[in-house]
Amino acid sequence: MTAGLVAVFFVACATVAVGVFGAAWRRDVSAAVATIPLMFAGAGIAFAGVARFAAAGGTHLLGQEFAVLLAVAAVALVALGLGIAGREGNR
Amino acid sequence: MDSLHAIGFYVSSGVLLIGALGVALLPRRGLRGAALALSGLGLAGVYYSLSAGFAGAVAFACYAGCALMVAGPQYRKVEAVAGSVWRQVGAIGAALLLAVLAFSAFRGDFVSATFKGGPFDAVALGRLLFAHDVVATEAVALLGLLAIAGGAAAWRLRERAR
């Protein structure tokens, strides 16, 4: 059994699509904001997969670091979105 | 990728996608938070099987934080202004996006590029930021996150004082 770049891309695109579906389908804005990390996770998986299977020599940290940045950005966006939604909900 | 890592990759992918579907479909915020934590666990496993253990650890911590925020008591429900027809159109668009991305993933492969970096040597700049000085780049990202959180907190305090 093995897994290649295409399998990684399939998982990434499925994760992005589930995130987009949740954001479009949810009536509650706060619940829709919770799907943002899923879209970012899909992008991060694609970056990490490209870094893992890149053919050129040397260490491939670029994709992994983009994945880390996307995870941190996902936290920031969820915090911002839920904070704004909390303000609107208190009114 | 050897068999052990491949099995770990597929199992983690399943956990990730089950958690993602839970975030998209489950009705209560506590369940959605648990599903988001589950998807973070699966994502960490995927990263680990792709030889990105550090990214997996950071992603798990970040997604656990997201799960706590989603399931926490500060959560407020806000109804969207978009009607059900537009939400259904958006869901169909998500399905079309999945089809397009799946097709491109099936046909995707590496290409041999001859890009040299342009007039300001973007290749060297990227290697500097994401390979040589990677810890500094992460520190700047963390600083940006703290600045956003601090700005939001200061904004809320000022609004409460009014």
Share of chain A above pLDDT 70, in %: 88
Contact A42, B102 (CB under 8 A): no
Per-residue pLDDT, B61: 92
Compare CB distances from B21 to A2, A18, A75 and report the shortest one's residue. Answer: A18
Residue A65 structure tokens: 């670091």
Residue range B132-141, pLDDT digits in tens: 777 888 788 8
Cβ separation A17–B97 shorter than 8 A: yes
- Among A14-23, A32-41, B54-63, B67-76, whose mean pLDDT is lowest? B67-76
Compare CB distances from B55 to A24, A67, A78 and report the shortest one's residue. Answer: A67
**Which of A3-7, B54-58, B106-110 ranks highest by mean pLDDT?**
B54-58
Range of the domain at A19: 5-90
Per-residue pLDDT, B44: 93
Q: How far is B75 from chain A (nearest CA, A)?
A: 6
CATH number of residue A44's parent domain: 1.10.287
Per-residue pLDDT, B15: 93
| CB-defined contacts A:B, below 8 A | 241
- Separation between Cα atoms, residue B38 and residue B150, nearest integer Å: 28
Query: Where do the structural domains in chain B lie, given as residue ranges?
Result: 1-78, 80-109, 112-162
Per-residue pLDDT, B95: 80
Partners of residue A64 in chain B, C-beta under 8 Å: 47, 52, 54-55
- Separation between Cα atoms, residue B86 and residue A13, nearest integer Å: 23
Per-residue pLDDT, B39: 92
* Segments in chain B forming alpha helices (H): 3-25, 29-49, 53-71, 84-107, 122-127, 134-161
Site of tokens 């099936």: B106
Partners of residue A13 in chain B, C-beta under 8 Å: 98, 101-102, 104-105
Cβ separation A74–B62 shorter than 8 A: yes
Per-residue pLDDT, A4: 79
Facing residues of B79 across strands? A28
Give the chain A residue nearest B1 (alpha carbons): A2
Q: Is the pLDDT of residue B147 over 80?
A: yes
What is the rounded average pLDDT of the residues B11-23?
Answer: 91
Compare CB distances from A6 to B91, B108, B142 and report the shortest one's residue. Answer: B108
Written as one letter, the residue type at B7 is I
Residue A13 structure tokens: 């695109």
Per-residue pLDDT, B112: 67
pTM above 0.90, yes or no: no
Per the prediction, chain B carries an average pLDDT of 82
Compare CB distances from B32 to A8, A31, A71 and report the shortest one's residue. Answer: A31
CA distances from B122 to A65, A67, B26, B110, B130 (A): 17, 20, 44, 20, 12
Domain count, chain A: 1
Residue range B49-80, pLDDT digits in tens: 988 888 899 999 999 999 998 888 777 777 76
